[in-house]
Amino acid sequence: MYFSNLLAPTLREIPAEAEVVSHQLLLRAGFIRKSSSGIYTYLPLGMRVIQKIEAIVREEMNKAGGQEILMPIVQAAELWRESGRWDVYGKELFRLRDRHDREFCLGPTHEEVVTDIARTNVYSYRQLPLMLYQIQNKYRDERRPRFGLMRGREFIMKDLYSFDRDEAGLDVSYQKMYEAYTTVFKRCGLDFRPVEADSGAIGGNVTHEFMVIAESGEAEIVYCSSCDYAANVEIAPGLPTENPPESPQEMAKVATPDQTTIAQVTEFLKLPPQKFIKTLFYQADDELIVALVRGDRNLNEIKLQKLHRALNLELASAEKVKELTGSQPGYVGPVGLKKVKIYADEEIRTMVNAVCGANEEGYHLINVQPEKDFQVFAYGDLRFIEAGEPCPRCRAALQSARGIEVGQVFKLGTKYSQALEAKYVDENGKENLMVMGCYGIGVSRTMAAAVEQNHDEHGIIWPLSIAPYHVVIVPVAVEDEVLWEESVKIYQELQKRKIEVVLDDRDERPGVKFKDADLIGYPIRVTVGKKFKEEGKVELKLRHEKDIRFLDDAELCNFVEQLVTTRCEGDWRHVCYRHYSSV
């Protein structure tokens, strides 16, 4: 490809609306352009990366036994009514009507559609296990689309659905997908971790998320440095720590004028935050509930939602709190609360002489004894686990990191086969519900995650296996016959060897071409300049390295072919040359 033909509108300036690096660089390097909020066009460079990721995904899904199909984006409301989800999802579900006024949605996911296919076409145990997948646009009307492709309203997902005879079969399918995902993300050259995750409203019990480690990740994970434990903090268990024993004192009310935050009150009373009971009020569906955690901890709302089994959970308003306690949030506490369920983190149970709000403006209570001075409806693990705490599996200190969720695998069980009556007949002629799993990879999000993880101040550093092109050739002066001839010669030789190469044929200063080459992030740059005229050598520079090699064009083509072959097709275990030991 000659660069002058390539539609790659690079930008000098950082677009104002781009908050994260991948969004900035994919825009500046001419990979994507916004069509509307959260909806993008993939320009040629972006499309080539998407196609590379899809090719890797397809290969691994096929290897694992998946059969590719393509399901409709436009889905009939009837199916979603059968599954009971039409009314569960609110504004996030894009809805539309056809010319006959019939209701449809734009598919945010395809459990209903694929289960409908299974119930219509699968009837015998001989047809199981079955794995069907697609790579298709998904639509979710995010309230705040941002971070470019990382949280779009239209995005490309590979979603695979497995159908098995029973749980044992599902375990096999799940394991196959788990391993296939590990291969996919390794081949994409990503530093990722599978983490235990929250199955959320989707139901089912076991689920793992594949997280690309990146500071800009929206998810927080904890992982162990010495065993392979890793979990999304949403579900990581907070083990209760013992509170130091002391003799219980008489409860008393103390004036704490204008001391409303934990920091202020503990400072004022000269007590550590561990002595404090943090009291939070939540609207759980149509019920007001109270949650207590120790002053130095943070409440994990996902865990509270699970303990109380709420569909919807949000912080109660200040007026609701005032209505119930007679006080502003800064002075609230569990003592004296009536007719409200109090949930408490395990660590509250063993607190002695605790401090909490007195439910009276300007006052707190000291020497409060849980169980004696207030009744807890239910204790549970309600807190966020923190870095440094012992690993739930091997006790080593946990580390925390931020991650971008690029894949997730779910055990669905019979949630959808029950709702849609997807059954098969077994060898005894008995009808059974199919047991399902579902497995998603965010293809467009994976492209963004790759940039988050592979960039520097000059631009993107594509892993070779998903780079839009492998090589860019930069003649330092196109009007110089000798340099041009040599550039075209190398260009043609590399193409003959199936290397994907761009020849920057613009009549521009070398500096401009180098800037664009670094911004776009070609893994390999070949410069044809003075050295060629003097010594017949061309320069080769890997995007992720500093040093430059000088080779004659035969050595160069062999080197490039060897590098691309080992890091892309063949031995993909070294796909990400970034870990390349020696060349």
Please report, as ranges, the residues that interact with ligand 9G3 according to CB under 6 A. Answer: 89, 92-93, 108-109, 140, 159, 202, 408, 410, 438, 440
438: helix, coil or strand? Answer: strand
**Smallest gap, in angstroms, from Cβ of residue 94 to ligand 9G3?**
8
Instruction: Tell me whether residue 411 or residue 470 sits nearer to ligand 9G3 (CB atom).
Output: 411
Instruction: Tell me whether residue 142 or residue 166 sits nearer to ligand 9G3 (CB atom).
Output: 142
Write the single-letter amino acid at 532. F
Instruction: Tell me whether residue 405 or residue 452 sits nearer to ligand 9G3 (CB atom).
Output: 405
**Smallest gap, in angstroms, from Cβ of residue 310 to ligand 9G3?**
18
CA angle 557, 558, 562 (to 5 degrees): 115
Report d(CA 221, CA 391) in Å as an integer. Answer: 13
Report d(CA 562, CA 568) in Å as an integer. Answer: 10
Instruction: Tell me whether residue 307 or residue 438 sits nearer to ligand 9G3 (CB atom).
Output: 438
Instruction: Tell me whether residue 111 or residue 505 sits nearer to ligand 9G3 (CB atom).
Output: 111
Report d(CA 357, CA 353) in Å as an integer. Answer: 13
Nearest CA among 41, 10, 55, 68 for reference residue 154: 41
**Smallest gap, in angstroms, from Cβ of residue 190 to ligand 9G3?**
18
**Smallest gap, in angstroms, from Cβ of residue 381 to ligand 9G3?**
24
**Smallest gap, in angstroms, from Cβ of residue 111 to ligand 9G3?**
6
Instruction: Tell me whether residue 196 or residue 516 sits nearer to ligand 9G3 (CB atom).
Output: 196
**Smallest gap, in angstroms, from Cβ of residue 161 to ligand 9G3?**
7
**Smallest gap, in angstroms, from Cβ of residue 396 to ligand 9G3?**
32
Cβ(198)–Cβ(232) under 8 Å?
yes
CA angle 480, 485, 486 (to 5 degrees): 105
Cβ(392)–Cβ(239) under 8 Å?
yes
**Smallest gap, in angstroms, from Cβ of residue 305 to ligand 9G3?**
16
**Smallest gap, in angstroms, from Cβ of residue 150 to ligand 9G3?**
15
Report d(CA 260, CA 389) in Å as an integer. Answer: 29
Nearest CA among 506, 485, 486, 471 for reference residue 2: 506
Report d(CA 391, CA 389) in Å as an integer. Answer: 6
Cβ(364)–Cβ(271) under 8 Å?
no
Instruction: Tell me whether residue 109 or residue 279 sits nearer to ligand 9G3 (CB atom).
Output: 109
Cβ(564)–Cβ(470) under 8 Å?
yes
Instruction: Tell me whether residue 109 or residue 446 sits nearer to ligand 9G3 (CB atom).
Output: 109
Q: Are strands 524-528 and 538-542 parallel, antiparallel or unpaired?
A: antiparallel
Instruction: Tell me whether residue 30 or residue 440 sits nearer to ligand 9G3 (CB atom).
Output: 440
Question: CB neighbours of 555 closer than 8 A, spacing ≥ 6?
Answer: none
Instruction: Tell me whether residue 104 or residue 410 sits nearer to ligand 9G3 (CB atom).
Output: 410
**Smallest gap, in angstroms, from Cβ of residue 140 to ligand 9G3?**
5
Q: List, as own/partner pairs, every contact residues 269-275 make where C-beta atoms lie below 8 angstroms and the sequence separation is at least 24, other chains included.
A: 269/355, 269/364, 269/366, 271/355, 271/366, 272/296, 274/243, 275/351, 275/353, 275/354, 275/355
Which residue has its beta carbon closest to ligand 9G3?
440
Write the single-letter amino acid at 374. F
Reading the block at residue 67, the tokens are 């059969």
Residue holding tokens 């709420």?
A: 310
Q: How many residues does the chain have?
A: 583
| Phi and psi angles of residue 144, each rounded to the nearest 5 degrees, phi first | -130, 80
**Smallest gap, in angstroms, from Cβ of residue 438 to ligand 9G3?**
4
Instruction: Tell me whether residue 404 or residue 438 sits nearer to ligand 9G3 (CB atom).
Output: 438
Write the single-letter amino acid at 524. I
Instruction: Tell me whether residue 24 or residue 414 sits nearer to ligand 9G3 (CB atom).
Output: 414
**Smallest gap, in angstroms, from Cβ of residue 89 to ligand 9G3?**
4
